[in-house]
Structure 1
């Protein structure tokens, strides 16, 4: 049997990049806590560099990403763990401008995914956002009222502008 790494695959370019990355790897032995005490919940959009937008580096913060940057049950689970076990005392919730989750309805996305996949997607929830500021405020309330997230944790909401790089605070 031939070693799969010897044969080019759909991942070979990424594995080559990884070897280059590993040559200068500097996080060996790091304990995984958030050195800056920060957790960020943000969108999976590739225009967002969660650490860079607030001047941090790998190892400084815990990052949770999902479509729309919403505070889901999984995000809350991550924040509970981060605040109790990983040195987090500041939580940023950061959706962004021109988010695809704000430009379609659930039914439009279901139809589009059905057409593209050839499988009925009418049952799938995509968590579209009809009012980004209102949803952000709801998400902040979820974090602030969660019984397992300490009251001492600072919680802030910000909308990231993908065209300027600036964060706009939302109360």
Structure 2
């Protein structure tokens, strides 16, 4: 699909959306349900649908793999300290594209395509692409642990760990992540 077609479709969809916008401009930037979600950017995931969210309910932070990156931590801390969330959900998913490659493989791919794309592939050596190693469950536990042990994350915040099954649409609780993420 060409960029022009995408632009036209997005602008047309936005026109429809704006036409039915109603009073959504009056929504608070503080999430009504006082929680935040970190999940994957995968196009098969629609966190508003699989969690029953409406606009204004929660903060949704998306990145490749639904990883607890430094930027995700920054966003969660702002969500808590400035905007009042007190519960966080880390939701990763089955059959994630972040499984099955390493940082070195990602860097090699940038290097192989550098000339064709006119980029400096050396810059990729400074990025941790945070591929998923081991199982999704192991990765989720590591990410919840990373968040729970961050010095700016209060013990009073509950951190949940779930896996979204892309074949069934169901959320599966990760018991070990739940234990680590429990508020004290």
TM-score, length basis structure 1: 0.86
- The CA deviation at 1:112 is 2.6
Runs of 4+ in 1 over 6 A off after TM superposition: none
- Whether contact under 8 Å (1:80, 1:149) holds in the other structure is yes
**Corresponding residue for residue 25 of structure 2:** 28
From 76, 80, 85, the equivalent of 1:79 is 76
TM-score, length basis structure 2: 0.81
- CA deviations 1:75-126 (Å, max 9, x no partner) are 1111111112222111000111111101222222223333344343551432
From 170, 173, 180, the equivalent of 1:169 is 173
**Corresponding residue for residue 111 of structure 1:** 108
1:50–1:117: structure 2 CA closer, same or farther, 3 Å change rule?
farther
Counterparts of 1:161 and 1:117 in 2: how far apart (Å)? 35
- CA deviations 1:32-63 (Å, max 9, x no partner) are 11111110001110111112211111211101
Specify every segment of 5 or more residues in structure 1 that has no aligned partner in the other structure, as ranges.
Answer: 1-7
From 52, 62, 66, the equivalent of 1:65 is 62
Specify every segment of 5 or more residues in structure 2 that has no aligned partner in the other structure, as ranges.
Answer: 177-184
- Report which of the two has the higher share of helix: 2
How big is the alpha-carbon RMSD for the aligned residues of Structure 1 and Structure 2?
A: 1.9
